[in-house]
Amino acid sequence: MRTVVCVKQVPDTTEVKVDPQTGTLIRAGVPSILNPYDHFAVEWALKLKARHGGEVTVLTMGPPQAKAVLQLALALGCDRAMLLSDRAFAGSDTWATSYALARAVKKIGKFDLILCGQQAIDGDTAQVGPGVAQSLHIPQITFCDSIEVEGRKAKVQRHIDDGYEIVEAKLPVLCTMSLPHAHPLPWPSFPKVAQARSKVLEVWTAADIGAEPEKIGLKGSPTQVHKVYPPPLRAKGTVFTGSASEMASKLLDILRQENFIKP
Amino acid sequence: MPGLDAISRGLMFDSLKQYAKRRIPYDLLRELDRKNEFPADILKEMYDTDILGIHLLLIPSEYGGLGGNTFDITRVCEALAHIDLGIATSVFATFLGSDPIRVGGTEEQKRHWMGRIAKEALLVAYGATEPDAGSDLVALTTRATHVVKNGKIVGYRITGNKQWISNGGVADVITILAAAPGGPSWFLVEKTAEGFSANHHEDKYGIRLSNTAGLALDDVYVPADHLIGGVEGQGLLQAQAVFGYTRLMVAAFGLGAGWEALETAIRYSQQRIQAGGPLSKKQGYMLKLIVPNAVKLEAARAYIEETAHRLDGDEHGLQTEGAIAKLSATEAGNKTAEDAIQALGGYGYTKDFPVEKIKRDVKITCIYEGTSEIMEMTIQRGRWQEHLKSRGQYYEGQAAEMDRLQAECPSVGAGSAALALRALNQVLEQVRLQRLTRHQHVSMRLGELIAQAETAAAFARAAAQPHYSESVRFDAEAWQAMSRVYAREAALDLCLKGTKLILGAGPLPEGFVQALGLDAALAAQAGSLEDQDLIARKLTEVFKSR
């Protein structure tokens, strides 16, 4: 089975704060990490490789320092890595990024499965995975918890607001992976990190993947960001006071008013 | 030595941090600390090549390791110290214990023993210290006598006692220093050897989970090929040869533990509201308890890394530099942990917060691998010779280098570092003229002043670089301000403490204070408060409250 995993290097947002005045991120001293959803996607690609054999290629677009996340994926067991790095990609929005990644996937060659994280923790758009599927004209399944492959079919558990559903699709398919709460992601041992240095890591430019110049970078990006600001805080909840029976009857009143229970 | 690349190093440390987060939470460390218990299972996992395999970093690649160089090793030491100094000490002990083999072993011994340490993940201990022989190893009383068969030495019988041996009670193999008929020599002793026994796990002030034990050797037999290097009498030379970088490793422990305490305090200061605002906004708090420690730790970092890169180049020994790095970093780490308790107030004094444990732990770095006082003596002895040999040009040369740096890059405090080095030169010359080194106190205080002046120069050199080391978490504005603050203090300390030393022992010759450059050192203090305010602000930006 041939799998391509699309990943992104992101600032560790647990360490990022938003400047309340300007609404911009304070990035001083913030380390970069492999987007945790993508990390989970890498874990799944390797799990499927262990079951079914084949090859896992990891792909990212970013500046030269994004090599670090590819090295991590290689150390975890991916077979080869591609970095799309070119000034021409600078300023790409999710549309242009999806296009560039799809071009790179085509250049990589035949594939059965593409895995992405459901979203990146810096932008939180959840658009790039679906965008890649669209560009490649293949089916997509988003917010997946687990994948089983039988023959030429993938059986996927995807989570929905009030539970989960099982979906089947023919290969090739693109799945975006969600990350179960408190799931311990795998980390490579020291010798695995060292061994990864001898694996293939290619750097491709826009020309290498045959990207049309007007479809990448700022030119190829229909989205314009006008303002970045933290969402307003939710209104505070109501706090009841009084004795237990007083508070219970107040709660009952509200539940009746809102039609949660019959009067 | 080339060592690892920055990306690999970063990934390895991420794995180490993630492992620690999962398997060595503070609650467990606190429990092990309370019970005085060595976490054998944790060490086993850390040496497991499928989980971490951390020991491989310490082993040359030709013997199955990853061939980390001095810089890599100081970095991993700092990372370990952030997690726990007891665990760091246990890993370090394996490294130290295998050092005599690496430095003095025959090719066959290296292949056999280093290969086994890599593959079998053996815990190793370094058995030099004795009840009556610490830094003074010449007083060694453990004896190794020949076992002769058919006129040929086939083995040795070793008898004696060792004290304060890290990993002593848990190591699989111990390198033992013993007086052989041909002089002090290192021997490899396996824990299963008949006549070998370890005493109880010592009940220590800090690093309580690290196993420290006395060893007893009662007529222990080892075959002749367990004599490291195959030639007797090389033991002290082999022990001395590695001090440059083993002391650098302990320096990195001081750095890591110090920063762990300081980060805790900086994050806390942003949460704790007093008199209408967080402590982090209070100048009196930040400039007393936080900023000076950040400055000293970063100065020590600059010195450690400069020395590591020199050792990874083609320089050897650097024992004086190793001593300066250790003295600067471990004393800074110790003071930082002390101030971190103060910074957390009542909370800092409880075991619910980690700083009191760090304080107890980090104290050992001022003691093991040579005490701070032995460092002062080593530094003074090394540089005194340079001063005499160069006829007073040693520090003048360094000061001139700082003058040039000041002209090229005026924002790193190189001018103040030049003042410190010139004042040091004047003090050394006066000490020579009045023959004041006959007072041990004068010599040792000189050791401290030398370390301070040289660290100021190293910090200025590092802060003037266009790209900082990966370990620096601050931008140029902050790091250069730190360098200026350190250099200013060094300039004034060298003048005042140097004068005090000389006045205390003899007359102060006319014109000495002028020659010292006291006026310039005083003038250099301008702007100090502004710089410290800037550093305070930057520290809270980098180490945000969680």
User: What b/e readout covers B422-449, taking b as 16+ CB neighbours within 10 angstroms?
Assistant: bbbbbbbbbbeebebeebeebbbbbbbb
Chain B residues within 8 A of A28 when measuring between CB atoms: 475, 538, 541-542
* Annotation marks residue B369 as catalytic: yes
Asked if the Cβ–Cβ distance from B50 to A189 is below 8 Å, we say yes
B542 touching A (Cβ < 8 Å): yes
**pLDDT at site A234:** 74
Q: Is B112 exposed, middle or buried (0-12, 13-18, 19+ CB in 10 A)?
A: middle
Residue carrying structure tokens 């647990």: A14
Contacts of residue A26 in chain B, CB cutoff 8 Å? 541, 544
Give every CB contact of residue B173 below 8 A, 6+ residues apart in sequence: B97, B113, B117, B122, B123, B124, B125, B188, B189, B190, B191
End-to-end, the C-alpha distance of chain B in Å comes to 39
Question: In the structure encoding, which two tokens stand for residue B117, read together?
Answer: 């340490």
Report residue A219: phi and psi, to 5°.
Answer: -60, -40
CATH topology for B372-542 is: Butyryl-CoA Dehydrogenase, subunit A; domain 3 (1.20.140)
Residue A26 has pLDDT above 80, yes or no: no
| Type and span of the H or E element at B223 | strand B212-223
The CB-side HSE value for B181 (13 A sphere, CA atoms) comes to 8
CA B276, chain centre distance (Å): 41
Residue with tokens 């975890």: A76
Residue B535's φ and ψ, nearest 5 degrees, are -60, -40
CATH class of the domain at B126-233: mainly beta
pLDDT single digits (tens) A189-205: 999 999 999 999 999 99
> Which chain A residues are Cβ-neighbours of B52 within 8 angstroms?
189-190
Closest-CA distance, B42 to chain A, in angstroms, reads 15
List the single residue in B5, B51, B475 with the smallest CB-CB distance to A189: B51
Residue with tokens 């430019």: A205
pLDDT digit string (tens) for A239-258? 888 899 999 999 999 899 88
Structure token digits, residue B54: 């951390």
B97-133, pLDDT tens digit by residue?
Answer: 999 999 999 999 999 999 999 999 999 999 999 998 8
State the greatest distance between any 2 C-alpha atoms of chain A, in Å, as a whole number: 72
A23, pLDDT greater than 70: no
CB neighbours of residue B229 within 10 Å: 19
**Contact B24/B87 with Cβ under 8 angstroms?**
yes
State how beta strands A9-11 and A17-18 pair. unpaired
Contact B424, B386 (CB under 8 A): no
Per the CB < 8 Å rule, is B56 touching A190? yes
Q: How many CB atoms lie within 10 A of CB A74?
A: 27
The partner residue sitting opposite B53, judged by closest CB among A184, A191, A196, is: A191
> CA A262, CA B316: separation in Å to the nearest integer?
85
Residue A28's pLDDT is what?
65
ipTM (interface predicted TM): 0.92
B201: helix, coil or strand? coil
Helices of type H across B409-435 = 414-433
* Nearest CA among B148, B127, B277 for reference residue B196: B127
Check CB contact of B271 with chain A, cutoff 8 Å: no
Query: Considering B130, B331, B369, B376, which one is annotated as catalytic?
Result: B369
Written as six digits, the tokens of A15 are 């360490």
Query: Residue A71 pLDDT more than 70?
Result: yes
| Residue B240: other Cβ atoms inside 10 A | 13
The token pair at B417 is 């570092």
Q: Is B273 helix (H, G, I), strand (E, B) or coil?
A: strand
Of B381, B297, B384, nearest to B339 (Cα)?
Answer: B297
Distance from CA of B545 to the nearest CA of A (A): 9
Considering Cα of B103, then B106, then B107, then B109, what sign does the dihedral take?
A: negative
Residue tagged 């004209």 (tokens): A137
pLDDT score at A15: 67
Decide: B423 and B517 in contact? Cβ < 8 Å.
Answer: yes
Sign, CA dihedral A17-A18-A20-A26, equals positive
DSSP type of residue A76:
H
Please give the pLDDT value at position A22. Answer: 67
The enclosing H or E element of B95 equals helix B85-104
Cβ contact B323:B382 at 8 Å? yes
Residues of chain B positioned with their CB less than 8 A from the CB of A15: 544
The pLDDT tens digits for A213-245 are 999 999 999 998 887 777 777 777 888 888 999
Structure tokens at B201: 């796990």
Please give the DSSP secondary-structure letter assigned to residue B288: I
Phi and psi at residue B332, to the nearest 5°: -65, -45
Helix axes B528-542, B243-271, angle to 10 degrees: 80
CB atoms within 10 A of CB A167: 16
**Residue A250: CB partners within 8 Å, gap ≥ 6?**
A240, A242
Query: What distance in Å separates the CA atoms of residue B105 and residue B99, rounded to the nearest whole number?
Result: 9
Beta strands at A55-61 and B196-198: parallel, antiparallel or unpaired: unpaired
Q: How far is CA B523 from CA B268, B392, B515, B517, in A?
A: 36, 25, 15, 10
Choose among B22, B66, B473: nearest Cβ to A194: B66
Provide the pLDDT confidence category of residue A24 given band limits of 50, 70 and 90. Answer: low
Pairing of strands A140-150, A173-177: parallel
CB contact under 8 A, A29 and B543: yes
Q: What's the burial of B469, exposed, middle or buried (CB within 10 Å: 0-12/13-18/19+)?
A: middle
| Alpha carbons B20 and B80: distance in angstroms, whole number | 9
Contact B52 A26 (CB under 8 A): no
Q: Which fold has domain A2-215?
A: Rossmann fold (3.40.50)
Which of B278-311 are b and which e, b meaning 16 or more Cβ less than 10 Å from the residue's Cβ?
bbbbbeebbbebbbbbbbbbbbbbbbbbbbbeeb
* Partner-chain residue, chosen from B11, B19, B57, that has the shortest CB–CB distance to A72: B11
Residue bearing tokens 């942003």: B270
Task: Return the DSSP state at B354.
Answer: T
The gap between the terminal CA atoms of chain A, to the nearest Å, is: 59
Q: Which residues contact B33 (CB under 8 A, 6 or more apart)?
A: B86, B208, B209, B357
- What phi, psi does A54 have (nearest 5°)? 105, -155
Flag whether residue B388 sits within 8 Å of chain A, measured between CB atoms: no
Q: Is B398 exposed, middle or buried (0-12, 13-18, 19+ CB in 10 A)?
A: buried
Question: Strand B152-166 vs strand B143-149: parallel, antiparallel, or unpaired?
Answer: antiparallel
Residues near A207 by beta carbon (within 8 Å), at least 6 away in sequence: A86
Q: Which tens digits make up the pLDDT trace of A140-151?
A: 999 999 999 999
| A260 pLDDT tier (thresholds 50, 70, 90) | confident
Choices 1.10.3210.10, 3.30.70.1900, 3.30.9.10, 1.20.140.10: CATH for B240-366? 1.20.140.10
pLDDT at A239: 85
Architecture of domain B6-123: Orthogonal Bundle (1.10)
For residue B200, the 8-state DSSP code is P
Q: Which residues of A touch B54 (CB under 8 A)?
A: 190
Cα–Cα distance for residue pair B298/B539, rounded to 1 Å? 12
Low-confidence ranges of chain B (pLDDT < 50): none
